[in-house]
Amino acid sequence: MLKALKRCLKKLAWLSVALVAAFAAWLMGYGWLSAASSAPQQFSLKQGSSLRSAARQMTEAGVISMPWQFEVLGRLSGHATHIQAGNYEVGGAASPFQLLKMITSGVRGQDQLMLVEGWTFSQLRAALDAHPALKHETRGVAETELAARLGVPQSSVEGWFFPDTYFFPNGATDTALLQRAHRAMRAQLDTLWTARADGLPLANPYEALILASIVEKETGQPSERPVIAAVFINRLKIGMKLQTDPTVIYGIGTEFDGNLRKKDLLADGPYNTYVRTGLPPTPIALPGLAALTATLNPAPGKILYFVARGDGSSQFSNNLAEHERAVTKYQRRGAH
């Protein structure tokens, strides 16, 4: 019995050694296996990222394909607590070990560009073209061609870039930055669309993006976004015209001189929501996360009107009589 037990323990010991050796071989093989394509790739790691969240972000960016193996490698190699936030660029094929060294040593670019909530695409493009650290591939490219390059299903890319600060190494392409901003907007919009409130008069995420851009431009006080979103949602539900100045101004374009006239409100055009019912054909600006969230989860109630009080806030009304009294009180031209 004792000899049999010893033989069994000996076999277990050898099996353990074999398993450890196999695991070590796998670890070394995976660690030096090329994890990225030969084409340059860029990705960002958020502030406070854990090794697990870093692996997830790198997988979403297409840099690695096996996040749990990458996490195991990082923990066994002692890199689990040294993740550095920022923007990174992989110049070519790179192994998991090389990627771990990159994200723990903080070898990352220091250049940055902030995409501002409420910017139009023309403003975004001007900022891209003026940035000296970017390689300019999209300068002068027609918007329809740019949409095709980025995989935007519409012919216009207006509104399709998420407002945020983007870090990148010197010499990164403007195409890569636009791709990152577009992916970020799609991700935010898809997530919020899935969790949207019931009964919204919006047929698809793109209509939500359009309306969110209007909410972005109409909001004075951040806390009022859900209420302003409710105004437009309620108008759409009953077939009432949106009657919002920012869409008219967007339609006027570069000819707008800062003064919106009565003739502008009466002139027919796809962006004149005083004349046409429903949403304009495209977004009119970059909506931020707060505007997207408010649009897909508006405040409850039957609010249909609002007028500026003159201090950045608005007075909201449920019906036209209340609204006319508010307009008289605050005496603000161009009230909604």
Tell me which DSSP letter residue 135 carries: B
pLDDT, tens digit, 9 for 90 and up, residues 164-209: 999 887 788 999 999 999 999 999 999 999 999 999 999 999 999 9
Q: Any bridge partners for residue 307, and if so which? A: 315
pLDDT, tens digit, 9 for 90 and up, residues 254-278: 888 888 899 989 999 999 999 999 9
pLDDT confidence of residue 335: 43
- Annotated domain spans of the chain: 111-191, 210-330
Q: Supply 274's token pair.
A: 């005083």
pLDDT confidence of residue 9: 55
Q: How far apart are CA 320 and CA 328, in angstroms?
A: 12
CB 279 within 8 A of CB 213: no
Which residue, 201, 204, 209, 203, is CA-closest to 184?
A: 209
Range scoring the smallest mean pLDDT among 32-36, 306-310, 327-331: 32-36
Q: Average pLDDT, stretch 116-122?
A: 96
Task: Tell me the pLDDT of the chain averaged across its residues.
Answer: 85
Burial code of 63-99, b = ≥16 C-beta within 10 A, e = fewer? Answer: bbeebebbbbbbeeeebbeebbebbbbbeeebbbbeb
Q: Average pLDDT, stretch 307-324?
A: 81
Please measure the distance between the N-terminal and C-terminal CA atoms of the chain and give it in whole angstroms. 93
Tokens 């339609």 correspond to 251
Greater pLDDT, 320 or 280: 280
Q: What is the dihedral of CA 200, 203, 207, 211, to 10 degrees?
A: -20
Q: How far apart are CA 231 and CA 327, in angstroms?
A: 16
- The model carries a pTM of 0.68
* Structure confidence at residue 14 as a pLDDT band (50, 70, 90): low
| Dihedral over Cα of 148, 271, 320, 290: its sign | positive
pLDDT confidence of residue 169: 77
CB 70 within 8 A of CB 12: no
Which residue, 97, 103, 100, 116, is CA-closest to 45?
A: 103
Cα dist from 307 to 262, 265, 295, 312, whole Å: 18, 17, 19, 10
Q: How far apart are CA 135 and CA 139, in angstroms?
A: 10
pLDDT confidence of residue 303: 93
pLDDT confidence of residue 70: 87
Residue 197: which region, alpha, beta or left (left: phi > 0; alpha: psi -120 to 50)?
beta
Centre a 10 Å sphere on the Cβ of residue 45 and count the other Cβ atoms it contains. Answer: 20
Length reported for the chain: 336
Q: In this prediction, what percent of the chain has a pLDDT beyond 70? A: 84
Using the predicted structure, report yes or no on whether residue 80 has a pLDDT greater than 80: no
